[in-house]
């Protein structure tokens, strides 16, 4: 049977193409008797083979309709999420300043640092939006075992709190106060550019940056030795030096004991030379290579003394006695 197309006599102005069942068609016969299309389809379904394929066709239509319905639902959900993203980005843009790298307008990056800043801010905002939609991103730092920063960390007037250790390599710069409870372990050189206060249970010490002085306040002792062998401190009215471990040895080629303003000497000791004793700034007693030199009177003895013992060149000792009338006499000792 040959193929042909016939114009329907109905008002629908529809055409259909006849195709034999052997060639995959419905086997509809040409509409010679004026039957409607529905009647022709009904006749075709009476053929078992045609009915099998027509049922397949109806099942396929149902599946396609169902899948299209799911697609519409998914598209609606996607539209809702995109709206949320757009709202979030609009809120971000409303709060940014002109220096924000994502400000609308043509962006020109003269350095790789500027380009990196732009990408970091952009990805951060996208990640925040995806996180709010449940689409991923780091919800908390604890979610990432090795988080890394691409720039400076701005605390935004917040605190970092927690337990554990902080290991830092490089320079650590702080502005303001730092309070540490516990033990602070530092390896390497520590530079402090302002005052440092050491608070004790009963007295304190301070490094004064402005005067470059280490101040030990009253009753704060500077101790030397493992057993408090030597101590220096100021008690409020007096200054003390206490040695309780062996000799107190003061070494130097020149030792001077002077007035607090340095205008007068009390004692001066010079290496391989004289030891001088001063009175009111005037030298009165001086050691020499052969003995001593006394400047001024040398008073020996008292009213109750028995005399002065002198030694002769041969080693014999004599007592020199001065009588009340000034008469001198000697006797061997």
Q: Per residue in 29-80, pLDDT tens?
A: 555 555 555 666 666 556 666 677 777 878 888 888 888 888 888 888 888 8
Length of the chain in terms of residues written:
333
Is 31 within 8 Å of 14 (Cβ atoms)?
A: no
Burial class of residue 179, CB neighbours in 10 A (0-12, 13-18, 19+)? exposed
87/91 Cα distance (integer angstroms):
6
The backbone torsions φ and ψ at residue 267, rounded to the nearest 5 degrees and listed phi first, read -140, 140
Domain assignment present for residue 329? The answer is: yes
Q: Per residue in 217-255, pLDDT tens?
A: 999 999 999 999 999 999 989 999 999 989 999 999 999
The backbone torsions φ and ψ at residue 322, rounded to the nearest 5 degrees and listed phi first, read -110, 120
The backbone torsions φ and ψ at residue 17, rounded to the nearest 5 degrees and listed phi first, read -105, 130
pTM of the model: 0.45
Q: Per residue in 89-100, pLDDT tens?
A: 666 555 555 555
Tell me which residue range forms the domain holding 293. 250-298
Domain assignment present for residue 130? The answer is: no
Domain assignment present for residue 149? The answer is: no
- Residue 280 structure tokens: 């009111």
Q: Per residue in 194-208, pLDDT tens?
A: 899 999 999 999 999
Strands 282-287 and 275-279: what pairing?
antiparallel
Tell me how crowded residue 28 is: count the other CB atoms within 10 A of its CB. 19
Domain assignment present for residue 322? The answer is: yes
Do both 291 and 310 map to the same domain?
no
Q: Per residue in 247-266, pLDDT tens?
A: 999 999 999 999 999 999 99
Domain assignment present for residue 265? The answer is: yes
Domain assignment present for residue 286? The answer is: yes
- Going across the sheet that includes 230-234, the strands are 222-224, 230-234, 239-243
User: What is the DSSP track for 219-240?
Assistant: T--EEETTTT-EEEEE-SS-EE
Q: How many domains does the chain have?
A: 2
Domain assignment present for residue 243? The answer is: no
Do both 257 and 289 map to the same domain?
yes
Is 194 within 8 Å of 173 (Cβ atoms)?
A: no
Domain assignment present for residue 42? The answer is: no
């Amino acid at each position: 049977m040959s193929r042909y197309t016939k114009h329907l006599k109905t008002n629908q102005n529809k055409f259909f193409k006849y195709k034999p069942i052997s060639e995959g068609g419905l086997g509809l016969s040409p509409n010679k008797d004026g039957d409607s299309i529905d009647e022709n389809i009904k006749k075709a379904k009476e053929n078992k083979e045609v009915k099998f394929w027509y049922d397949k066709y109806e099942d396929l239509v149902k599946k396609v309709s169902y899948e299209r319905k799911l697609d519409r639902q998914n598209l609606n959900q996607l539209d809702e999420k995109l709206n949320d993203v757009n709202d979030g980005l609009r809120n971000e843009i409303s709060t940014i300043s002109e220096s924000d790298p994502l400000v609308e307008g043509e962006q020109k990056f003269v350095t790789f640092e500027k380009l990196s800043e732009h990408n970091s801010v952009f990805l951060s905002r996208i990640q925040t939006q995806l996180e709010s939609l449940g689409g991923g991103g780091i919800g908390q730092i604890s979610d990432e075992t090795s988080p890394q920063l691409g720039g400076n960390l701005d605390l935004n007037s917040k605190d970092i709190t927690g337990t554990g250790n902080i290991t830092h390599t490089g320079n650590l710069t702080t502005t303001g106060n730092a309070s540490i409870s516990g033990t602070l372990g530092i390896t390497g050189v520590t530079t402090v550019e302002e005052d440092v206060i050491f608070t004790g249970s009963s007295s304190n010490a301070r490094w004064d940056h402005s005067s470059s002085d280490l101040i030990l306040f009253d009753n704060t002792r500077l101790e030397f030795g493992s057993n408090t062998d030597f101590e220096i401190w100021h008690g409020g009215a007096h200054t003390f030096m206490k040695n309780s471990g062996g000799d107190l040895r003061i070494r130097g080629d020149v030792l001077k004991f002077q007035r607090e303003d340095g205008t007068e000497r009390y004692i001066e000791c010079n290496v391989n030379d004289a030891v001088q004793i001063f009175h009111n700034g005037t030298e009165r007693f001086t050691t020499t290579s052969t003995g001593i030199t006394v400047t001024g009177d040398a008073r020996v003895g008292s009213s109750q003394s028995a005399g002065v013992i002198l030694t002769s060149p041969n080693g014999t000792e004599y007592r020199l006695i001065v009588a009340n009338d000034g008469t001198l006499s000697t006797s061997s000792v």
